[in-house]
């Protein structure tokens, strides 16, 4: 237990076995989480590292719950659930923590009050933890005025993110201490139990069904429509849960591909997705899977009422014909389940792409012979298409299909494909130099060759 900071009126150190009332599910869940954050070194460094803090082995993390401040905002009824203090020996960093479990959601009024309390007491940040997903801890599910976060930083962890980090630290062998490893396993087991109140994103909002039916009837999405905004927000939450689930399944960090502007500003990410939805009735994103041959592109097409996943691979340049290049690809996919998988061929120049079911190509690779005679395919796209029809509009089914299809695509395609890589050039015959040749002799040789060329 760390010493109480001067700005606290009273407080209780977070404990592994909290003595809170049975009805205080949020407090109990947060207390167990904070206890592990404080006592499992690698877990604390990993979680706080996601906020941009780089902590050495000597850094100390202290956590408290049920905190009461000497200075508070007049009329404020809210009290933060916890407090984190990080002491590096040279500096101290502090953060208020607010947790929600079950169906409870964060509110602007509450978080804005905590930002004001933090500023008043010289606290560096406010961290929220809830069942709401975000792409990065620096993104927040609430739209908070930038004026309130100039002096106090605002971060967010989803409970799904916490579970994923705990599992990956264990599976990647980054926690060596046996007792700490047991604590981390117990934290994960507790958070996965229904009694914890942790519930991962599993249902789109009503706006998803409304927009799906509107587009099916000939309508179009509008970037300014609140329905479209709700749809984009839920799509991002579903993708963020997908990265957590897939990370746990493969035992490594799966991330969303984002440009710098979207990563820095979640509002810009939302704006870009709304523009794309309005222009083509589609939502797109990319996953970066460790050691994969290429990023995985994901698309939810409201017009076709379908989900698609695809990878793009360059055809091997050391093979001259389309048939030989296709054989290279089919060898890698020979044992996979070909259902709903297609191969798209991209040709040189302005020739439009052609596409065949993988099952047809595996049965008869020669069917490609009639396509673009005299040309050699330069790129393959391997595509998984889920044509959902009316199920596309069903709020729970679409999330389940997204997660299941992503796992299937990884297992059937992503985990099997290796990118082609050119071999390093060989030394040409006649240019091998004996080991005994001196530097002076080599220089004389170069000078003679230069004089011969000049003459």
Structure tokens that stand for 318 in this block? 């050391």
SS3 256: strand
pLDDT digits (tens, 9 = 90+) for 308-360: 999 999 999 999 999 999 999 999 999 999 999 999 999 998 899 999 999 99
pLDDT digits (tens, 9 = 90+) for 265-290: 888 999 999 999 999 999 999 999 99
In degrees rounded to 5, what are phi and psi of residue 347?
Answer: -110, 165
> What are the boundaries of each domain within the chain?
8-196, 206-414
pLDDT digits (tens, 9 = 90+) for 4-45: 666 666 544 444 445 555 557 788 889 999 999 999 999 999
pLDDT digits (tens, 9 = 90+) for 42-61: 999 999 999 999 888 888 99
Question: Residue 13: what pLDDT?
Answer: 44
Among candidates 348, 357, 334, which has minimal Cα distance to 379?
Answer: 348
Among candidates 141, 157, 149, 139, which has minimal Cα distance to 265?
Answer: 139
pLDDT digits (tens, 9 = 90+) for 99-148: 999 888 899 999 999 999 999 999 999 999 999 888 889 889 898 988 99
Distance CA 401, CA 204 (A): 12
Distance CA 99, CA 80 (A): 8
């Amino acid at each position: 237990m760390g010493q109480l900071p001067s700005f606290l009126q009273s407080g209780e150190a977070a404990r592994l076995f909290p003595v809170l009332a049975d009805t205080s599910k949020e407090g109990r869940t947060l207390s167990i989480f904070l206890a592990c954050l404080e006592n499992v070194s690698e877990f604390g460094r990993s979680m706080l590292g996601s906020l941009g803090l780089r902590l050495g082995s000597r850094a100390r993390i202290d956590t408290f719950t049920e905190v009461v401040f000497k200075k508070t905002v007049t009329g404020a009824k809210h009290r933060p659930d916890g407090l984190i203090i990080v002491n590096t020996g040279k500096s101290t960093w502090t953060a208020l923590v607010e947790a929600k479990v079950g169906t409870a959601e964060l509110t602007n009024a509450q978080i804005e009050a905590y930002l004001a309390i933090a500023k008043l007491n010289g606290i560096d940040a406010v961290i929220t933890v809830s069942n709401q997903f975000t792409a990065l801890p620096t993104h927040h599910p609430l739209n908070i005025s930038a004026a309130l976060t100039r002096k106090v930083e605002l971060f967010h962890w989803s409970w799904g993110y916490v579970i994923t980090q705990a599992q990956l630290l264990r599976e990647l062998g980054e926690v060596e201490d046996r007792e700490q490893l047991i604590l981390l396993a117990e934290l994960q087991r507790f958070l996965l139990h229904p009694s914890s109140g942790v519930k991962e994103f599993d249902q789109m909002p009503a706006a998803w069904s409304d927009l799906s039916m509107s587009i099916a009837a000939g309508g179009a999405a509008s970037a300014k429509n609140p329905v479209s905004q709700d749809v984009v927000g839920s799509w991002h939450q579903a993708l963020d849960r997908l990265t957590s689930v897939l990370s746990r399944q493969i035992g490594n960090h799966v991330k969303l591909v984002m440009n710098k502007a979207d990563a820095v500003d979640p509002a810009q990410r939302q704006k870009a997705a709304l523009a794309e939805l309005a222009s083509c009735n589609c939502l797109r994103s990319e996953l970066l899977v460790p050691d994969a041959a290429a990023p995985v592109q994901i698309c939810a097409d409201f017009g076709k009422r379908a989900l698609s996943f695809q990878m793009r691979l360059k055809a091997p340049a050391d093979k001259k014909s389309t048939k030989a290049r296709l054989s290279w690809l089919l060898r890698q996919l020979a044992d996979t389940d070909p259902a709903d998988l297609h191969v798209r061929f991209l040709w040189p120049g302005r020739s439009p792409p052609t596409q065949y079911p993988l099952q047809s190509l595996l049965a008869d690779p020669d069917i490609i012979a009639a396509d673009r005679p005299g040309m050699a395919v330069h790129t393959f796209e391997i595509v998984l298409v889920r044509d959902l029809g009316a199920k596309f509009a069903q709020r729970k089914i679409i999330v389940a299909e997204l997660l299941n299809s992503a796992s299937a695509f990884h297992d059937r395609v992503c985990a099997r494909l290796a990118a082609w890589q050119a071999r390093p050039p060989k030394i040409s015959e006649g240019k091998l130099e004996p080991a005994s040749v001196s530097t002076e002799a080599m220089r004389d040789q170069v000078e003679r060759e230069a004089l011969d060329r000049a003459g």
